[in-house]
Chains A and B, each alone.
Chain A
Amino acid sequence: MIDTLVFVIGGMLAAATSILFASLGETVSERAGVLNLSVEGMMATGAAAAFGIATLSGSHALGFIGGGLAAGLLSMVFAALVLVFYANQVAAGLAVGILGLGISAFIGKPFEGNTIEKIPKLDIPGLSDVVLVGPILFHHDVMVYLACAMIFIVAYVLKRTQLGRMIRAVGENPQAAASNGIPVRLVRCGAIGFGGFMAGIGGAYLSTAYTALWAEGLISGRGWIAVALVVFGSWLPFRVALGAYLFGGISLLELSLQSHGVKLPSQLLSASPYLVTILLLAFISRDQYRLRLSRPMALGQTYRNES
């Protein structure tokens, strides 16, 4: 029983990490008023690029940086579409998402089916040995801790800093932001780029640390779940993170149910993350009054600066 608990809760943190990076990035992008639906494609590109770089260079660190940059670069295509060409954000997100999936398959082709060494677990002296708490909380790789730290960093920047206020201003009312002298496009472009970089890191974590293998279709909908979690978390970093960890828990629970021989069709288990997401979305969206308090008011609207 205790083993299961350690497996589920400890595993939950690791299972959530990839999605957590991506949804924190998307949170920032959406707080700036930009709905970027290409997360799936950006994660895939990041995952493939990171896997390739880590395999060739032997360095996981280079892999992560490369994965983040590759997805960040891809997000600039999206940024150009919505900020320069005034494209509809939904359509642009779909376009770049498809492009990203293609690119990931393209660059991942030589590595299809390969595996890679996982990044080492960092034990924190003193804490890792504590009964129960140690193995659950303090026996993870560095990225799990980093993802955790990112929650606090993103929340702090959005709430407390001038940069965060600029991001929120641009997401609430870009016209007013412009007349306040805030460079709307630059801020939005930065937010999109951050979202892309984080999605890339999330993808990189999946391919080079969590599963430690590359196969086309590795992301399998995690990018979309990351987008859904931003709504679930009503654009607040801590709630988004809560959603991501909850999600990690559910996917772990499936594995442990299966390993305990619970008789359910494997397909039902595979479909369960999506079913859960749909239910959560319906549950959280039904209270529009409350959501409207936190939803960036200009989310999804094209910003044109031509008066």
Chain B
Amino acid sequence: MLDLALVPRTERSRSAPIVVPLIAVVLTLICGTLLLSLIGKSPAAVVHSFFIQPLSSLNGIGEIILKAGPLILIAQGLAIGYRANVWNIGAEGQLIVGAIAGATLAIIFETSNSVFLLPAMMLAGAAAGAAWAGIAAFLRVRFSASEILTSFMLSSVALQLLYYLVTGPLRDPMGMNFPQSIVFGSAALFDVLIPGTRSNMSIFVGLAATVLAWFFMSRTIHGFRLVVGGMAPDAARYAGYSSARAIWLSLLIGGACAGLAGVGEVAGPLGMLQRNLSPGYGYAAIIVAFLGGLNPIGIVFAALLMALLYVGGDFAVVSAGVPNASATILQGMLLVFYLAASLLFTHRIVRKSVKVAA
């Protein structure tokens, strides 16, 4: 009897980190196309608008870079926590609070031309994001409250805080009651990266975070301790690594990255504080972190793919008449298929002939 069987691996697989995301992408493509053709969209048109259109214009490429920036930045921060088994799922809220802090500086120093304004905004955003995530860390360390739930709840609170501020204290007094702040001065904005597009220099913040994350996780004892805590909490306790420290570190890093990404939005494409700060970057970054295998380099590729999905989704809505929700479904599918295919990290498929006892 010929049979396929799953056998646990005895050593790390070299090919799995490439093969697993590839399987996820291919399966998502197939299922996504099937789904959209079910509602009468031509598969060719859908594929064209999702994957060809964004890449065939400078504007499209600029948009991809623009969206990949925050995704890389947030996902690098989250991945560090996830490897330590600390589940920060409230990056969206940390992004919002970071944006608020950065915007507040830009509004206060409305007329400033100082070169220090933007760096100060970044600092303030990172600190605010970290502080917001720090609430979840405090609740976990002090009261053992699940950071999964509290970090999510804090996101909803942050959103209401934003709504309050843009309709009240931070609203543009001359803005005819629109829920948004004043338009920032140029000293509070990132420079454009590719002229003629909206992409800007903030992408380098994401790339710098990538290098730092890689260095931190694979070269320092602190990164090693986080990984041990995530893989085997009992071994971390045995070795004397502080779990409170791991929780604080994970959430503060994740929060700082998300807060910084928030500044990137208000000081980038938006140029002001407004109700719609982020098209769900904080949640999409969770997917990016996983799809990248929680690995700093993998995350860059995953973020580019996710950005393509965002931009392609916009094109598809306009030119192929695809529902808005398609991008969310595709994101969900991508993560579902990735997790399923992840079995190949720990198992391999072998073909074996089995003689079953009578």
Binding site for B on A (CB under 8 A): 37, 41, 77, 80-81, 85-88, 90-92, 94-106, 109, 216, 220-221, 224, 227-228, 231, 265, 267-268, 270-271, 274-275, 277-278, 281-283, 285-286, 288, 306
Q: Which 5 A-B pairs have the closest CB atoms?
A: A99-B332, A105-B325, A102-B328, A102-B329, A95-B335
Q: How far is the CA of A270 from the CA of B143 in the complex (A)?
A: 25
Q: Which of A85, A105, A278 contacts B139 (CB 8 A)?
A: A278
A102 & B150 in contact (Cβ 8 Å cutoff): no
User: DSSP majority for the A interface?
Assistant: helix
Q: Which of B168, B327, B336 contacts A99 (CB 8 A)?
A: B336
15 contacts between A and B (CB under 8 A): A41-B332, A81-B340, A85-B343, A99-B335, A102-B328, A216-B325, A220-B156, A224-B152, A270-B160, A274-B157, A277-B153, A282-B145, A285-B144, A286-B144, A286-B145
| With contact pairs A85-B342, A271-B161, A278-B145 given, residues A95 and B336 touching in the complex (Cβ less than 8 Å) | yes
Q: Which of A92, A216, A231 contacts B146 (CB 8 A)?
A: A231
B283 on interface, CB distance cutoff 8 Å:
yes
| With contact pairs A81-B340, A268-B164 given, residues A282 and B139 touching in the complex (Cβ less than 8 Å) | yes
Q: Mark B220-240, 1 if CB is under 8 A from A, else 0.
A: 000000000000000000000
Q: How far is the CA of A87 from the CA of B286 in the complex (A)?
A: 15
B197 on interface, CB distance cutoff 8 Å:
no
B190 on interface, CB distance cutoff 8 Å:
no
| With contact pairs A95-B335, A265-B168 given, residues A286 and B157 touching in the complex (Cβ less than 8 Å) | no
B218 on interface, CB distance cutoff 8 Å:
no
B149 & A227 in contact (Cβ 8 Å cutoff): yes
Q: Mark B120-149, 1 if CB is under 8 A from A, else 0.
A: 000000000000000000010011111011
> Which chain A residues border B184 with CB–CB below 8 Å?
none
| With contact pairs A99-B332, A103-B329, A268-B164 given, residues A37 and B153 touching in the complex (Cβ less than 8 Å) | no
A285 & B143 in contact (Cβ 8 Å cutoff): yes
B332 & A267 in contact (Cβ 8 Å cutoff): no
> Which chain A residues border B168 with CB–CB below 8 Å?
265
B339 on interface, CB distance cutoff 8 Å:
yes
> Which chain A residues border B153 with CB–CB below 8 Å?
221, 224, 228, 274-275, 277-278
Query: Assuming A87-B343, A94-B335, A105-B328, what are 6 further A-B pairs, CB within 8 angstroms?
Result: A37-B148, A85-B339, A92-B339, A95-B287, A267-B160, A270-B160
